[in-house]
Structure 1
Amino acid sequence: MRMDDDGVGTRPALGRSPAALRRLYATKRRPGSHPVIVHLASDTLLPAWARRVPRVAAQLAERFWPGPLTLILPRTPGVPDEVTGGLETVGVRVPSAPLARALLEAFGDGVAAPSANRFGRVSPTTADDVRRELGADADVVLDGGPCPVGVESTIVDCTTESPAIVRLGGIARERLEECVGSAMPVLDRGEVAAPGTLARHYAPDLELVIVAEAALGSVARDHVAQGRRVGVLAAQPPADLCQEVFVIGTPRDADEYAHALYRHLRDAERRGVEVLLAVPPPEVGIGA
């Protein structure tokens, strides 16, 4: 099964069924040591999954749930190792997408639901993306429309004295810091084991190059001269851009840029782009 979430499309499995979880890992071709996020219908289910909920975690949950925020908390003894990758912590969140909420409420317990893609690939944001990605491995696809956020949830580790961001995502750092009233560091990859934090994750099957807007034309010409199929991801492509370049227009607003990013990456892949030159969004909010 695949369901639409608020961030990206997810591939759910019963959170306490080792057999269902093993099938989930096999479908995604995901390492068993890499934990998955448990989705809940309500924070009232937290005590069944987390043995302790610090005050700061409760603050964040009250402000941002339902929504694209995952909290890492100490797990209860009954949480399967298949969910946590053998760790003593568990990532939990309450999604806002209506279809996901309805499924969770009908089930009445936690559902493990990583993104509905092969491990390491770009996450899907539409039902069609999932059908192309998983094919016959997705028995049922629940289509609630395009995912409204378009990128993964932000993950915050609440197991230490001061909370820290493990993965940037749908909720901007500044909003989290405003909620807790203090600075919140962003941990480097490898400092903590959490979903979606490996060195290669959510990666397209093309070369992605970040380019300043002023240099876009010259960099594109260099790649075209090398015989490569070039794509450009920019709000305002330069007038001197050579005709061989495939252009994908992007909004300047950082939130809208994030919402469309994975859709654009998949579009570029389908069009055979070998190198995608991307002008980054403004470094504010989710783009910081």
Structure 2
Amino acid sequence: MSAERDAILSESFVNENPKVTNYIIEIEKKLEKYETLETDYRELDAKYLDVQEDMFGMNIKKFEYEAQIQCLTKENEKLRLENKKLTEEMEKFKRDMVAIYKTNGVRDKIACEAELSNNKNNATTVENDTNYANSILIKNFPQKLIHDDIKKSIEKLGKYMKLPLSDMDISKATRKESKFYERLNMQPDTLILIVEFKDQEMKVNFLKHKEMLKTHKSCKEIEITDFVSEDVYNLYQYAKVLKSHGYNSVYWRNNCVYVKKNRSTNCEPILIESQSQVDVLKSLNQ
């Protein structure tokens, strides 16, 4: 009974005192604002913790990247020193070769030059006698696989390709000398060979089966292409300008240069025999 009376008196007191009423209202508003601020604070605190976690992860990655950079820097320095060492060895090699060349004397020099000249003349004669239309070019042929009779080496490649190939299918097989090794009178690790077949059919079959060499460790670096002479290659380079004068394609085959107006099977290829012929074809499509 006493509590009810106190409540009634308190309510009556508040109603009779507007200032007290306003004060209570003001307090309630501030309490509501405080609750809102407290909620915002908790959200900000949660976001702050998330940011701290992200920064911690970034710091870990930063340390990892720095460790990787240090490792790469060491590797780079190691490679730089190795490169410097190789450069010094190459310079020493060049000096030694010059010294050897000088100590051989004038007589040896003259004999060497005469021998090189004779080799070049022989090579020129061989190339002039070669039927390039039936020929292929073999690069990176290992020196250790070469026989005294180069034809035997080509026959061995045929066995690796599972291609029936005999001495009767090969007209000739010769080395293409390297001027660099000629000057130094050194034997290269790999050779360039020119192989002429008796007919184009065997040449085409040999080119078709060349990928089978990749399965043999000792032959996987060998490259085999259709042979093109220097003159024909230069003519091919000159004829490529026709592609900007209305011709669809320029190509070489069997040591000959051809152009085609379009890709249609009905379009006959044009045999290019000289640069002047290229100039005429250009003028017709100006």
Q: Scaled by the length of structure 2, what TM-score is found?
A: 0.25
The structure that has the greater radius of gyration is 2
Please state which structure has a larger fraction of its residues in helix: 2
Q: Scaled by the length of structure 1, what TM-score is found?
A: 0.25
The structure showing larger relative contact order (alpha-carbon pairs under 8 Å, at least 6 residues apart) is 1
